[in-house]
Structure 1
Amino acid sequence: MSPSASRGASAPPEPSVPLAPSRAADAASSEELVRRACDGDGDAWAALTRRYTGMLWAIARSHGLSRPDAADVVQTVWLRLVERLSGLRDPGRVGAWLAVTTAREAERARLRAAQWPPAAAERRQPAVERSPERVYGTRERLGRVARALEELPERCRRLLRLFAASPSYADAAAALGIPVGSVGPTRARCLSALRRRLGDDF
């Protein structure tokens, strides 16, 4: 484990928008970033976290976790990567490794929360109240989307929430446990189903 990687293993905050590249390292391939991170390159590790943190959060939240529980999962996954970085069989598929690991950790966290519902409820973040005049329209639309999304099958809910982080099809397939070739058609069917539930006036 490199010292620089160890220092960067804490979970970044949940991104509200996709994390934009801000360094030259972001243009490098994932395989190159893994090799450089193994050699102690802090910029490479930072680029990896920028590239994949949004996807990790999306996967964790798609399992129905609260924000604190999702943060724990994201941090755990980055720590797992630090521990196994030099031993990855295929560094170029680090995104798929992260997706699968996050899905597993999120499912474990979901099961733990189900066993201890009072503790899980205590960790939920209170809603932030804003001026009704400013947010009514947006809140109404988001509410319609949320209700329509809950009417979809679980696989569709997870897939659409996951794609909010713009993962590659390979990473999405790994997270969902489906063939890469079925991601596109499945996503299209899920989006069509969501649009039907929202109606033509949305």
Structure 2
Amino acid sequence: MDDTAALVRAAADGDAGAWKELYHRYSGLVWAVARAYLPTPADAQDVAQTTWFRFAEHLTRIRDPDKTGAWLASTARNEALRVIRTSGRVIPVSDVGLMGFDVDERSPERLLLDAEEADAEAERAREVWAAFEEMSERCRRLLRVLIASPRPTYQEVATGLGIAVGSVGPMRGRCLKRLGVLVARRGVTGTSRDFE
């Protein structure tokens, strides 16, 4: 089934396959919107779960099922803002994860070369994320949502972030250009196409 409205109707009628397809299509978007507003993955996960719960509650009452992505994005945004309002706390966030190495049977030479390559890539990632953190909150939110998988539509992005649809593309371009400048200032190697 490709028609979103038909999937919503089928899910409302109890079709588990339709529900699974809706979740597959939109879980990345819901997560990205929640994470764009909330500093901790745990809070974002709570918001994502609440968003899906709200969707299940309203499944039979959604006015325009073709805009399910926008409905989910808007709900995730509202839930994230509710968490921010009620938590009364600000937690610093870093997107740089911890790196771990699995035990394997590579030769010591290969392990050393691989570790050096991994260190170089990790350093590049740290520099890119540091540049990302220098950007405005608005740009960081937009870029986080745009990288959701599967890729959200501009309508879904706009709804999730509370901005006009027509501003998504130009804003994306400005934000990526700014990120490219910040990354270049840090001396990170790579092509400028990485940020287009």
Q: TM-score, normalised by structure 2?
A: 0.79
Is 2:42 the counterpart of 1:68?
A: yes
Q: Please say if residues 47 and 80 of structure 2, whose CA atoms lie closer than 8 Å, have aligned partners that are also in contact.
A: yes
Please show how residues 38-53 of structure 1 align to structure 2 within 5 Å: 38-53=12-27
Please show how residues 181-196 of structure 1 align to structure 2 within 5 Å: 181-196=166-181
In 2, the alpha carbon distance for the partners of 1:66 and 1:60 equals 10
Please show how residues 164-175 of structure 1 align to structure 2 within 5 Å: 164-165=147-148, 166-175=151-160
Q: Please say if residues 12 and 60 of structure 2, whose CA atoms lie closer than 8 Å, have aligned partners that are also in contact.
A: yes
Instruction: State the number of aligned residues.
Output: 170
Alpha carbons of structure 1 residues 154 and 30: separation in structure 2 relative to 1, 3 Å:
same
Alpha carbons of structure 1 residues 112 and 57: separation in structure 2 relative to 1, 3 Å:
same
In 1, the alpha carbon distance for the partners of 2:98 and 2:130 equals 20
In 2, the alpha carbon distance for the partners of 1:76 and 1:64 equals 14
| Larger Cα-atom Rg | 2
Q: Please say if residues 33 and 161 of structure 2, whose CA atoms lie closer than 8 Å, have aligned partners that are also in contact.
A: no
Please show how residues 95-134 of structure 1 align to structure 2 within 5 Å: 95-115=69-89, 128-131=98-101, 133=116
Give how far 1:134 is off. 5.8
After superposing on structure 2, the runs of 4+ consecutive aligned residues of structure 1 that deviate more than 6 Å are: none
Identical amino acids, percent of aligned pairs: 42
Q: Which amino acid aligns with 2:67?
A: R
Specify the alignment match of 1:163 in structure 2.
146
In 1, the alpha carbon distance for the partners of 2:174 and 2:90 equals 35
Alpha carbons of structure 1 residues 116 and 173: separation in structure 2 relative to 1, 3 Å:
closer
Is 2:84 the counterpart of 1:135?
A: no
- Unaligned runs of 5+ residues in structure 1 are 1-24
Q: TM-score, normalised by structure 1?
A: 0.77
Alpha carbons of structure 1 residues 137 and 49: separation in structure 2 relative to 1, 3 Å:
same
- Unaligned runs of 5+ residues in structure 2 are 102-114, 191-196
Alpha carbons of structure 1 residues 85 and 150: separation in structure 2 relative to 1, 3 Å:
same
Specify the alignment match of 1:79 in structure 2.
53
Which of the numbers 32, 50, 58 marks the counterpart of 2:6? 32
SS in 2 for 1:115: coil
Give how far 1:171 is off. 0.0
In 2, the alpha carbon distance for the partners of 1:51 and 1:80 equals 17
Q: Please say if residues 65 and 110 of structure 1, whose CA atoms lie closer than 8 Å, have aligned partners that are also in contact.
A: no
In 2, the alpha carbon distance for the partners of 1:115 and 1:78 equals 25
Give how far 1:116 is off. 8.2
CA RMSD of aligned residues (A): 2.3
Alpha carbons of structure 1 residues 197 and 97: separation in structure 2 relative to 1, 3 Å:
same
Is 2:119 the counterpart of 1:149?
A: no
